[in-house]
């Protein structure tokens, strides 16, 4: 059907992950839950997931 769904998934999670991670870095005090800068940590996880999806889409053609 012409669309590789990994493109939108990869782009969206890369964008949201980067946004969360930057927010976690910039506003550390507001991003802490139970002693963890959860925005930074989880933003990084989403960023890695998004990039892996994009790499799969690029490789898959």
Partner 1 sequence: MQAIQLQWIDYTILIAYVAFVIGIGWTLARYMKTSADFLTSARSIPTWVTGLAFISANLGALELVGMAASGAKYGISTAHFYWVGAIPAMIFLAVFMMPFYYGSKARSVPEYLKMRFDERVRALNSVAFAVMTIFASGISMNALAKLLHALLGWDYNFALFVSSGVVLLYVLKGGLTSAIYTEVLQFFMIVLGFAPVVYLGLKDVGGWHTMTTSLQTVATNPAAIYLKDAGTTYAPNAWTSAWQPVLAGPAHNPMGVDWFAMIFGLGFVLSFGYWCTNFLVVQRAMAAKNMTAARNTPLVAAVPKMFFPFLVIVPGMIAAALTTLPDKGYRIPPPVISQANYDKAIADVKNANSADAIKTISDDLGSKVDAGKITSLVAANAATKLTDTQIQQGLYNSVAENDYDGVILSLVKKYCPAGLLGLALTALLASFMSGMAGNVTAFNTVFTYDIYQAYFAKGKSDAHYMWMGKVITVVGILLSIGAAYFASMYNNCMDIIQLVFGFVNAPLFATFLLGMFWKRTTATGAFLGLFGGIGSSALFHALTIAQGNAPGIKGGYLKVMSTFPSEMAQNFWLAAFAFIACFTLTLVISLATSRTKSDADLKGLVYSLTPKIVDNNAPIYQRPAVVGVVLLIVCIILNLIFW
Residues that bind partner 1 (CB under 8 A): 1-3, 5, 8-9, 11-13, 15-16, 19-20, 23-24, 27, 30-34, 36, 38-39, 42-43, 45-46, 49
- Smallest distance from partner 1 to CB 17, Å: 9
Retrieve residue 1's tokens.
Answer: 């059907």
Cβ closest to partner 1, residue 36 vs residue 55: 36
Q: Where are the beta strands (DSSP E) in 1-61?
A: 32-33, 36-37
Minimum separation from the CB atom of position 56 to partner 1 (A): 11
CB 13 within 8 A of CB 47: yes
CA 37 vs. chain centroid, Å, equals 15
């Amino acid at each position: 059907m012409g669309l590789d769904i990994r493109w939108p998934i990869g782009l969206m999670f890369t964008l949201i992950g980067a946004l969360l991670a930057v927010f976690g870095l910039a506003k550390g005090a507001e991003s802490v839950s139970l002693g963890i800068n959860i925005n930074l940590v989880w933003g990084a996880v989403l960023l890695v997931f998004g990039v892996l999806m994009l790499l799969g889409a690029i490789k898959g053609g």
